C-alpha cells in the first residue's frame, strides 16, 4: 500500500570500505581530490581514515585479514559520484596523480559526462557531471 510519506529520511550517508592497503587507497582517493577529515592510528600504524570531498565523506579501514587474505572486495558494488565540476579536468588530475582510468571521459546514455576508475582494492567508481 503506497503512502505519501517516506519511511526513511536520510540527511547524509557515508560508505565505509574495508581495503587491502589503507595507505595505497588513501593515495588513490587523494588523487581523485578527496582530503583527509580524520585519521585513526594505533602504535604509529594507520588503521583508517575518513575522507571528504565537498560535503560528502567516505571511510577507509585497513582489513585485519580475519576473513582471509583472498577475500574479494568491490564485487557487485559501485559508487556513483556526481559533481558540477568539469569531468575532463578531474580525469586529467587523476591521471596526473598516477591513477589509471578504466574509461576516459565519455558521454553516457543517461545524459552525463563520466569516467570510471577502480580503486586499489577493487571498488568501482564512476565520476560524472550532468549534461544540459
Domains of the chain by residue range: 16-63+76-130
Cell of 12: 547524509
Residues in a beta bridge with 101: 117
Q: Are 78 and 119 in contact (CB under 8 A)?
A: no
Q: What is the pLDDT of residues 8-58, one digit of tens each?
A: 888 899 999 999 999 999 999 999 999 999 999 999 999 999 999 999 999
Residue in the block written with cell 560528502? 56
Topology, domain 16-63+76-130: 2,3-Dihydroxybiphenyl 1,2-Dioxygenase; domain 1 (3.10.180)
User: Residue 131 to residues 63, 84, 103, 128: CA-CA distances in angstroms?
Assistant: 38, 10, 18, 9
* pTM of the model as a whole: 0.90
Q: What is the pLDDT of residues 90-105, one digit of tens each?
A: 999 999 999 999 999 9
Amino acid at each position: 500500500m503506497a503512502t505519501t510519506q517516506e519511511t526513511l529520511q536520510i540527511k547524509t550517508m557515508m560508505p565505509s570500505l574495508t581495503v587491502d592497503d589503507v595507505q595505497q587507497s588513501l593515495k588513490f582517493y587523494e588523487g581523485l581530490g578527496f582530503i583527509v577529515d580524520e585519521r585513526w592510528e594505533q602504535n604509529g600504524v594507520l588503521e583508517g581514515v575518513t575522507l571528504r570531498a565537498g560535503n560528502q565523506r567516505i571511510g577507509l579501514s585497513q582489513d585485519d585479514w580475519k576473513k582471509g587474505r583472498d577475500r574479494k572486495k568491490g564485487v557487485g558494488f559501485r559508487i556513483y559520484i556526481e559533481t558540477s565540476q568539469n569531468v575532463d579536468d578531474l580525469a586529467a588530475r587523476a591521471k596526473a596523480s598516477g591513477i589509471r582510468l578504466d574509461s576516459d571521459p565519455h558521454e553516457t546514455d543517461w545524459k552525463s559526462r563520466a569516467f570510471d576508475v577502480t580503486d586499489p582494492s577493487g571498488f568501482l567508481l564512476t565520476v560524472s557531471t550532468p549534461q544540459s
